[in-house]
């Protein structure tokens, strides 16, 4: 367990204030849910991993036109909470500003695009729901390079650094997202 000065109860209103209630907030909540599910599976600290996912794009609205500052501004804003270096590193590594080193780094790096990919899969399905997706459907879409082209296949495949096969990884992130399907509108 990590001792943190930042809690979800403090972070969530901050995220809503900086991001707004929109699709970006849904993305952030999906990443949080995916990170929590991976933490459970890998025996990691669920709250810590979830919180990392929750704040990973905190600065997105301010840095979307200045990619070089993305993630660094988040760490500046959260400096008063004295986040562990590992959490800061994962936030900075997720857009590729530094190499991934820890399991937390690899998880966030992989989960971030996977949530958008899974949402695109759900929206492509006739039912437009998460609960109808299976591994076969997602893997077929994964092989279609033009489908959800913004979701980096390379980043998602980096789940191998966590000892996970792509199929298992996608199903874990999907399971996490299923826990908040209503919030995601899927």
* CA angle centred on 46, ends 137 and 109, rounded to 5°: 55
**What is the residue extent of each domain of the chain?**
8-184
Q: What is the pLDDT of residue 113?
A: 98
Decide if 138 contacts 4 (C-beta within 8 A).
Answer: no
d(CA 184, CA 186): 5
d(CA 170, CA 53): 16
Residue for token pair 């599976």: 41
| Per-block mean pLDDT, blocks of 10 residues, the chain (186 long) | 90 97 97 98 98 98 96 97 97 98 98 98 94 96 96 98 98 98 96
Which tokens in the block code for residue 102? 């820890």
Q: What is the pLDDT of residue 1?
A: 73
- 71 backbone φψ class: left, alpha, beta (φ>0; ψ -120 to 50): left
Which tokens in the block code for residue 106? 């690899």
Query: Is the Cα dihedral 104, 82, 46, 12 positive or negative?
Result: negative
Phi/psi of residue 4, each to 5°? -120, 145
d(CA 36, CA 41): 9
Query: Is the Cα dihedral 32, 38, 41, 47 positive or negative?
Result: negative
State whether CATH 1.10.3210 applies to domain 8-184: yes
Q: Which residues contact 171 (CB under 8 A, 6 or more apart)?
A: 135
Beta strand extents in the chain (DSSP E only): none
d(CA 141, CA 154): 15
């Amino acid at each position: 367990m990590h001792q943190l000065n930042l809690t979800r109860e403090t972070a969530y209103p901050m995220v809503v204030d900086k991001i707004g209630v929109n699709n970006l907030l849904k993305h952030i909540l999906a990443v949080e849910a995916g990170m929590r599910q991976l933490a459970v599976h890998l025996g990691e600290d669920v709250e810590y991993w979830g919180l990392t996912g929750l704040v990973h794009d905190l600065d997105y609205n301010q840095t979307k036109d200045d990619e070089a500052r993305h993630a660094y501004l988040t760490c500046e804003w959260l400096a008063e909470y004295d986040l562990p270096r590992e959490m800061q590193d994962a936030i900075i590594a997720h857009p590729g500003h530094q190499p991934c080193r820890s399991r937390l780094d690899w998880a966030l790096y992989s989960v971030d695009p996977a949530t958008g990919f899974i949402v695109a899969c759900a929206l492509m399905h006739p039912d437009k729901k998460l609960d109808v997706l299976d591994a076969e459907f997602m893997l077929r879409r994964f092989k279609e390079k033009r489908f959800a082209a913004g979701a980096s296949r390379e980043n998602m495949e980096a789940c191998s650094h966590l000892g996970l096969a792509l199929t298992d990884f996608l199903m874990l992130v999907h399971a996490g997202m299923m826990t908040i399907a209503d919030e995601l509108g899927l």
